[in-house]
Structure 1
């Protein structure tokens, strides 16, 4: 951890905040991301739980949910319609620091996504942590080859997640299958599991490999933006958008929580 003062300049301008220096130079922390609409967010308690559990694992420190919620409310009061990223870190042991970053709201992609399979697995994949060099590197590689994102796999072709989202596959009977390889249990995934169970739609988690994907009726991605269809994975093409839309419609029924 950094405890001494550090001099950092960006384009010749000195950054005096030591907390910013910590984030700039030490690749250690974690975050959650959410879409805010009219001062509301989906799965607010799940976001708070994520930050608390990740902080306890990374730092051995209790992150006060009331403090986190206060910071979220402060940010949302200035931008009731936005994309909010909440990052937790410590520049000194035991001193929980909360950084909020706002951007304009992000809408789901207007077209299904194309994915390029890449052999890469995120370290500590169950945590939404900072330091996504591999994800950014392989995501850019995918776009240079005409795809929208990278699909992360093991060397044996077992699918885990994409560089920016969870992925799930739809069977002919409508069952949703989540890959069982190590990945983040995303907030949208958690909410979708609950909503699908209430709608009587089955879900399960199992090993899915690149050799399996042609046997599914469709595939979809979930992240803070919502549910988006997959048009192709490598050379495998999914043409039927109806199964994905049915799942997306269920997710859209999920409630929004007042911040």
Structure 2
């Protein structure tokens, strides 16, 4: 019988193994959707885990070990599911790093997801993530600002840096449309794996794209906006703060088409 799992280093994790992780804030992770037992952008997820581990721990687990752990978790569940890989050090937080401890892998699976339908309204909130290029845990600000946005009648938050540039959402990358090209906001932010998948497939399709600093005052000149993450390559956004954005169904369809062009790979 297939089921969803929590596994530590490729084996089922019991409560005693998971308890120390309840307050672990020095870790990084990647999240993905598994379809038919296969994954889009597997190479991007592996590269993310390697580079973040080197930055946080000074060492990374071999790709073949990570892939074996993914296979074990996927075999235990249904063909379609959500999967999160978290890498942490047994040395924990608030300690001087040692050299002997090898990072641990925690893999969790759950029901497949596809994200909200939209369109979304985003509150513009000034916030800059620490180590923005790493998908790390313990980010209380993201949930705090999401809830602040919801209390103001918005669906979620869009972050603005100290220079007034839009960067990313609470758990999303932002992407814009100028009517011809896809415009990625230029600011310190996470490069999501879905974002990277879409970028390379747009290149293969010959679709123009560019990076540009975007402020709230730039929004009225744009022809559409979306958010994207591991759930979906595009949920339409119709408002950021007080700026209204036009519906752009062809833009959303283009992003979904690019994403679907990415082949699924077995771990």
TM-score of the two chains, using structure 1 as the length reference: 0.89
Match of 1:60 among 58, 61, 64: 58
Residues 84-113 of structure 1, C-alpha deviations (whole Å, 9 max, x = no match): 110001113432200011111111322222
In the alignment, which of 96, 100, 106 is matched to residue 107 of structure 2?
A: 100
The equivalent of 2:23 in structure 1 is 25
Question: Any gaps of 5 or more consecutive residues in structure 2?
Answer: 1-13, 92-97
Does the aligned pair in 2 maintain the 1:22–1:91 contact within 8 Å? no
1:49 and 1:233 mapped to 2: Cα distance?
32
User: What CA deviation, in whole Å up to 9, does each residue of 1:232-251 have, x standing for no partner?
Assistant: 11122223232222232222
Is 2:223–2:248's contact at 8 Å kept on the other side of the alignment? Answer: no
- Residue aligned with 2:216, SS: coil
Distance in 1 between the 2:148 and 2:72 partners?
A: 37
Q: Is the 8 A contact 1:114 1:232 kept in 2?
A: yes
Q: 1:147 aligns with which of 148, 154, 165?
A: 154
The answer on 1:168 being equivalent to 2:175 is: yes
- 1:256 pairs with one of 254, 264, 267: 264
RMSD, matched Cα? 1.6
Whether the aligned pair in 2 keeps the contact of 1:166 and 1:184 (CA below 8 Å) is yes
**How many equivalent pairs are there?**
243
Native 8 Å contact 1:56 1:63 kept in 2: no
Q: 8 Å contact 2:219–2:245 — kept in the other structure?
A: no
Partner of 2:197: 191
* Conserved 8 A contact 2:216-2:243: no
For 1:112, the equivalent position in structure 2 comes to 119
Tell me whether 1:90 sits opposite 2:98 in the alignment.
no
Alpha-carbon offset, residue 15 of structure 1: 4.9
**1:16 paired to 2:22:** no
Question: CA–CA distance in 2 between the matches of 1:167 and 1:128?
Answer: 16
The aligned counterpart of 2:4 is none
Q: Secondary structure at the match of 1:108?
A: coil
Give, in whole Å, the separation in 1 of the partners of 2:256 and 2:244: 19
Q: Which runs of 5+ in 1 are unaligned?
A: 1-13
1:231, distance to aligned residue in structure 2 (A): 1.8
The separation in 1 between residues aligned to 2:103 and 2:216, in whole angstroms, is 41
Q: CA deviation at 1:21?
A: 4.0
**Deviation at residue 166 of structure 1 after TM alignment:** 0.5
Matches for 1:203-214 after TM superposition, within 5 Å: 203-214=209-220
Contact 2:183 2:209 in 1 (8 A): yes
Counterparts of 2:170 and 2:16 in 1: how far apart (Å)?
Answer: 33
Query: What are the Cα deviations for residues 209-243 of structure 1, in whole angstroms up to 9, with x where unaligned?
Result: 11111110001112101221112111222232322
Q: Secondary structure at the match of 2:22?
A: helix
